[in-house]
Structure 1
Amino acid sequence: MTDYDVLRVFCGPNGGYGNELGVVRDGSVLPGRDARQQLAAELGFSETVFVDDPERGVIDIYTPTLRLPFAGHPCVGAAWLLDVPELVTPAGVVGVRLDGEFSWIEARAEWAPARTLRQYASAAEVDALPVPPKGERSEKGAPDEGGEWIYAWAWEDEAAGRVRARAFPGRDDGIEEDEATGAAALLLTDRLGRALNITQGLGSQILTAPQPHGWIEVGGRVRLER
């Protein structure tokens, strides 16, 4: 079996929760896309990162079913693990800074995959949502390739920028709900135009902040699981 680390990204204040991330530190052991996709499917994490150049921060990101040019929690996790000033992804160069217990990346909303940002009236409504059946994940009543990717959110405290969110990827890869999703948080920040403190899933925390010239910072706590 290929060696890999497991991180938890966007952990809560007590260090719990967060989204698991697989990281293959030596990407040269699996240089081909097909082999990487197969391993990502076998591991079953929402994303797996392959590090192609640890000094330059060159990374390659896969879900169990497809390759992504950019993704939020893999970049935050890789930034923490590699401790480099930037990451190089197919979407572009991602800025990195480490600030105490938080690891931050700086990226652009147009790099994030399409998401349906669906607002609800209260955090309680978001908490009560069932996982959408696959056949109902599309707003048109029929799923597309794997179904619609829904980011359900509501204000917990609008004045303070506190948000409650849950994520339903709609993919046919066994991941019915994503615990913490940096790319969706980035898109929501771009839409609202303000800094956010997001509680997602069971208790993960994602922080965001708009920056000049269309850049957005996304940050959170990272822990080495194994």
Structure 2
Amino acid sequence: MVDFEVVRVFCGPDGRYGNPLGVVRDGSSVPSREGRQRVAADLGFSETVFVDDALRGVIDIYTPTLRLPFAGHPCVGAAWLLDVPELVTPAGTVACRRDGDVAWIAARSAWAPARILRAYTSAAEIDALSVPPPGEWIYAWAWSDEAAGVVRARAFPGRNDGIEEDEATGAAALLLTADLGRSLDVRQGRGSRIVTHLAGDGMIEVGGTVRR
């Protein structure tokens, strides 16, 4: 098994929860896409990042079953871990900034993989949801406090790859922000937190607390 480390991305206000991210700092130890896909499947995280150039921030992202040109929680985690001004992904160059345990990225919603944004009428409805059958990638959400921009959300990838529910998904929060046209404070999963800001020129900032 290759060397890797784990960070938790989008931790809650109390420092708990967050979505675990596998990071292979020495991407050259797994040079092929096929090999990286096998490693990502073996590790079993919702995403695993391979760092191909730590100084330039060049990264490669995989779920257990597929390669992603861009994803939110891997980029935020890599931005915090590498502490670089930008990340280079197949989708585009992602601007980054870090303030202690909080990391931010700026990206375009067009870079995010497609998700079904399914609105519900209350946070209680979101809490009561069961995991749906595989098939559709569903981001279920409802307002907790619409005036304040606070959202309750849960994510169901529907890929039949062992990840029934994603604890915190930055790309889905980015898509929801673009769809609603406003900055959001998303409380997802068991206790994770994702914050988004409209940054102008079509860019959206996504940020959160990262812990080892």
* Superposition TM-score, scaled by structure 1 size: 0.93
Number of the residue aligned with 1:163 = 151
Question: What SS does structure 2 have at the residue aligned with 1:23?
Answer: strand
Structure 1 gaps of 5+ residues are 135-146
**CA offset at residue 88 of structure 1?**
0.1
- In structure 2, how many angstroms separate the alpha carbons of the residues matched to 1:40 and 1:101? 25
- In structure 2, how many angstroms separate the alpha carbons of the residues matched to 1:163 and 1:113? 20
Question: What SS does structure 1 have at the residue aligned with 2:131?
Answer: coil
Question: What SS does structure 2 have at the residue aligned with 1:14?
Answer: coil
Number of the residue aligned with 1:195 = 183
**CA offset at residue 211 of structure 1?**
1.1
**CA offset at residue 172 of structure 1?**
1.4
| Count of aligned pairs | 212
* 1:14 aligned onto 2:14: yes
Number of the residue aligned with 1:183 = 171
Equivalent positions of 1:1-226 (< 5 A) are 1-134=1-134, 147-224=135-212
The one-letter code of the counterpart of 1:204 is S
- In structure 1, how many angstroms separate the alpha carbons of the residues matched to 2:4 and 2:74? 14
- In structure 2, how many angstroms separate the alpha carbons of the residues matched to 1:196 and 1:44? 29
- For residues 194-223 of structure 1, what are the alpha-carbon distances to aligned partners after superposition, in whole Å with 9 as ceiling and x for unaligned? 110000000000000011110000000001
- In structure 2, how many angstroms separate the alpha carbons of the residues matched to 1:196 and 1:187? 11
**CA offset at residue 101 of structure 1?**
3.4
Question: What SS does structure 2 have at the residue aligned with 1:188?
Answer: helix
* Superposition TM-score, scaled by structure 2 size: 0.99
CA contact (8 A) 2:73 2:171 kept: yes
Question: What SS does structure 2 have at the residue aligned with 1:187?
Answer: helix
The one-letter code of the counterpart of 1:86 is E
- In structure 2, how many angstroms separate the alpha carbons of the residues matched to 1:100 and 1:45? 24
Question: What SS does structure 2 have at the residue aligned with 1:184?
Answer: helix
- For residues 122-141 of structure 1, what are the alpha-carbon distances to aligned partners after superposition, in whole Å with 9 as ceiling and x for unaligned? 0000000000123xxxxxxx
Question: What SS does structure 1 have at the residue aligned with 2:201?
Answer: helix
- For residues 90-127 of structure 1, what are the alpha-carbon distances to aligned partners after superposition, in whole Å with 9 as ceiling and x for unaligned? 00000001134320000000000000000000000000
Number of the residue aligned with 1:142 = none
**CA offset at residue 34 of structure 1?**
0.3
- For residues 135-185 of structure 1, what are the alpha-carbon distances to aligned partners after superposition, in whole Å with 9 as ceiling and x for unaligned? xxxxxxxxxxxx110000000000000000000000110110000000000
Question: What SS does structure 2 have at the residue aligned with 1:211?
Answer: strand
- In structure 2, how many angstroms separate the alpha carbons of the residues matched to 1:37 and 1:102? 29
CA contact (8 A) 2:101 2:211 kept: no
- In structure 2, how many angstroms separate the alpha carbons of the residues matched to 1:194 and 1:168? 23
**CA offset at residue 55 of structure 1?**
0.1
CA RMSD of aligned residues (A): 0.6
Once the two structures are overlaid, the 10-residue window that deviates more, 125-134 or 87-96, is: 125-134
CA contact (8 A) 2:80 2:210 kept: yes
The one-letter code of the counterpart of 2:49 is V
The one-letter code of the counterpart of 2:142 is A
Q: Which stretches of structure 1, 4 residues or longer, exceed 4 Å deviation after superposition?
A: none
